[in-house]
């Protein structure tokens, strides 16, 4: 087995320890020959030498993109996967900068679950109403990629197709990074092995999750607002109940086009609805708490998630 691990590196200035943990746990738990193929286009310059010094990391030059959010993530993933395949890897694994293996032999175990008609193993976030393969933990063989040519996202034409509409009627999916792989499996009637959330304990329904007891995903490190499906649903319900607030928000949003960018940033918290502010604050608090516990003692945190028993740190 020759493993290519694909990661888009983008972390906040305060997340050096998280980056170090990501690299350390990949190194500790990956017993097969591997290379990390990473993009650093918007990584803070002071973190780049850390990756350059790691002999198991290959920084891949990628053209910049104006895209942001999951579209930016997908853009770099496509380039990195192609680079890994070109260099002859037998299997490709996708991880996020805040996801990493938590058990030795993870890659071999994921690969061992594959077969001729079960061509991919990946995280499935049912807790986020999302039953497609998720890039926080995914592994597939090179033959699947070369023969089927999946894409991380879908074209506008594919998104408007009746077959895609049927896929969405039959399967709960979030249309973001990984939707192209999910739809490819559906369209070509191929099976895949999902890694579902395996936490025995939790402090949040999705932040700080283990999947199949093989991969951990903190969730949201590379983006600002830590919204997930329940937070967005809560905000939508609030808007549906309050038509006046919704209309006012649209009016303010339109008027903000004529306000300088710096002032818009200062006004944004005032424009946000009470439900949005409350949801964002609760998610941020859960994220900060999970991140702090993870970095203070990773093994104790993993043990708590597995068993429900917290170990007191002296």
Q: Name the DSSP letter for residue 233.
A: H
Beta carbons of 180 and 152 less than 8 angstroms apart: yes
pLDDT at 244 over 50: no
Reply yes or no on domain 3-223 having CATH 3.90.550. yes
Q: Which residues pair with 123 in a beta bridge?
A: 134, 195
Q: Quick one: average pLDDT of 174-200?
A: 97
What value does the mean pLDDT of the chain take?
A: 88
* E-strand stretches of 21-148: 34-39, 57-59, 91-95, 99-101, 118-123, 134-141
Q: What is the pLDDT of residues 123-159, one digit of tens each?
A: 999 999 999 999 999 999 999 999 999 999 999 999 9
Could you tell me how far CA 81 lies from the centroid of its own chain? 16
Residue 265: pLDDT above 60? no
**pTM for this one?**
0.85
Query: Residue 177 in contact with residue 152, Cβ under 8 Å?
Result: yes
For the chain, give every residue range classified as CATH 3.90.550: 3-223
């Amino acid at each position: 087995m020759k493993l290519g691990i694909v990661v888009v590196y983008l972390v906040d200035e305060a997340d050096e320890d998280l980056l170090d943990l990501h690299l350390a746990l990949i190194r500790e738990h990956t017993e097969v020959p591997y290379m990390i193929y990473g993009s650093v286009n918007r990584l803070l310059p002071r973190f780049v030498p850390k990756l350059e010094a790691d002999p198991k990391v290959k920084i891949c030059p990628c053209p910049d993109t104006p895209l942001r959010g999951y579209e930016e993530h997908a853009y770099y993933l496509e380039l990195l996967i192609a680079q890994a395949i070109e260099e002859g890897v037998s299997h490709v694994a996708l991880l996020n900068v805040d996801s990493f293996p938590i058990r030795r032999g993870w890659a071999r175990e994921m690969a061992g679950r594959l077969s001729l008609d079960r061509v991919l193993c990946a995280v499935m976030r049912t807790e986020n109403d999302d039953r497609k393969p998720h890039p926080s933990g995914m592994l597939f063989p090179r033959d699947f990629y070369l023969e089927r040519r999946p894409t991380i996202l879908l074209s506008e034409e594919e998104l408007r197709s009746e077959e895609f509409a049927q896929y969405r009627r039959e399967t709960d999916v979030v249309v973001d990074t990984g939707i192209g792989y999910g739809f490819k499996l559906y369209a070509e009637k191929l099976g895949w092995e999902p890694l579902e959330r395996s936490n025995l304990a939790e402090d949040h329904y999705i932040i700080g999750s283990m999947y199949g007891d093989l991969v951990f995903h903190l969730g949201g490190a590379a983006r600002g607002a830590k919204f997930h499906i329940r937070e967005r649903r809560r905000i939508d319900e609030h808007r549906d109940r309050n038509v006046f607030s919704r209309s006012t928000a649209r009016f303010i949003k339109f008027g903000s086009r004529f306000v300088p960018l710096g002032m818009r940033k200062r006004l944004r918290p005032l424009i946000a609805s009470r439900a949005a502010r409350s949801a964002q604050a609760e998610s941020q608090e859960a994220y900060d708490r999970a991140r702090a516990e993870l970095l203070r003692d990773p093994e104790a945190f993993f043990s708590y998630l597995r068993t429900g028993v917290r170990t007191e740190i002296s």
